[in-house]
Amino acid sequence: MDDKEKFNCLFCYCPLYMMGEECGGNFKYTEHGIKDCSQCSLPHIKDVGYDHIRGKMKTVINMVKDKHLKNKK
């Protein structure tokens, strides 16, 4: 990011990566189907990224819980 005053490095690794297309960020998939978030600055925008991620964490928690319960059956 050009404006270092608006940069937040709290999320070095985006906790929304696992959401795929529902994360809300600027990403693309490589030719091998890997999610490439290198052009996404959403988690790093001060006062915006944290709120965005925090707002989606309940969905992430439910995704993990559902997968865990499914694997237990």
Please name every residue paired with 45 in a beta bridge, in sequence order, or none if there are none: 7
pLDDT for position 14: 83
- Identify the three-state secondary structure at position 41: coil
State the Cα–Cα distance between residues 53 and 44, nearest whole angstrom. 10
Write out the chain's pLDDT in tens, 73 residues: 677 777 767 666 788 888 989 999 999 999 999 999 888 888 888 888 889 999 999 999 999 998 877 877 6
Give pLDDT, residue 33.
Answer: 93
pLDDT at 10: 67
